[in-house]
Amino acid sequence: MRRGLVLSLFPGLDLLGRAFEDSGWCVVRGPDVLWAQDIRGWNPPQGRFDGVIGGPPCQAFSPLANLCRSQGYKIKFGNLVPEFERCIREASPWWWVMEEVPGAPIPTVEGYRVESVILSPRDLGDAQSRNRRITVGGMKALPDIGLTGRLPALSKSQAPVVPAATGSGTKWERRTGKLSRSGPAGSQSWAVAKMLADVQGYPRIDQKLRDSGLWTAKGACKALGNGVPRVMGEALAEAITGWCEEIEQLQKKVKRKVD
């Protein structure tokens, strides 16, 4: 099972896809609302992709959702996890990975063994504290991925220190590893985008967004904040790649015995 094609659903800036690309996979990005596209009604080709990755919109499952509803705000995106499941069924990949908030439902697709864990970048040695639900599926015909045992678990004392940064009312707290507001709500600037890019592990991507002329500072901040931290993406890519390499070795052993 070579490092082949990966389909990235709900990609946004696709920080997760970038981590898989850095690990040697070729990532093909599916439709996204950022580009005025809708996944509903879109059909991926069957049997073309080794894996599928993605993070459906989390607004419907966020702890803030009920507060927003109580204030009269409408949740923009509903539950799109079923669309993720549909695309998996149609694409029939060897494996898939979904990243979501802890309160999101765990996807289930017939024919796949599913494992789900709550993971924070801090668990992987990063200073950022942000719990996410990571769910991995692998074809039942193949050995179990064993995600938990494959993720490098570093102690929080080993976490690197992220330099304090401020900009337009947002600051990075060294003690908690979280972003907090210290100014007017919604005050987002390119200085904040730069800080978010650094925190997410992709420095200078903010400048590329700015130079493109297609992004406002507010839009860049939102897209960067919704992305998967680099340390988490790399850990997942490493885990999946290791699993695929083990299966490839097993297939070679079986072939030698048959020959």
Specify whether the CB–CB gap between 145 and 182 falls below 8 A: no
Over the stretch 26-66, which tens digit does the pLDDT of each residue have?
999 999 988 889 999 899 999 999 999 999 988 767 766 55
Domain coordinates of the chain in residue numbers? 5-159+230-258, 166-224
Per-residue pLDDT, 63:
65
End-to-end Cα, the chain, rounded Å: 19
Could you read off the pLDDT tens digit of each residue along the chain, which spans 259 residues? 567 999 999 999 999 999 999 999 999 999 998 888 999 989 999 999 999 999 998 876 776 655 555 666 666 667 899 999 999 999 999 999 999 999 899 999 999 999 999 999 988 888 888 899 999 999 999 999 998 888 875 433 333 434 333 333 444 444 444 544 444 444 579 999 999 999 999 999 999 999 999 999 999 998 999 999 999 999 999 999 999 999 988 888 776 666 5
Per-residue pLDDT, 149:
87
Give CA–CA dist 2/248, Å, rounded: 8
* CB-neighbour burial class of residue 172 (10 A; exposed 0-12, middle 13-18, buried 19+): buried
Bridge partners for 81 per DSSP: none
Bridge partners for 97 per DSSP: 53, 136
Per-residue pLDDT, 79:
87
* Size of the chain in residues: 259
pTM summary value = 0.83
| Fold adopted by 5-159+230-258 | Rossmann fold (3.40.50)
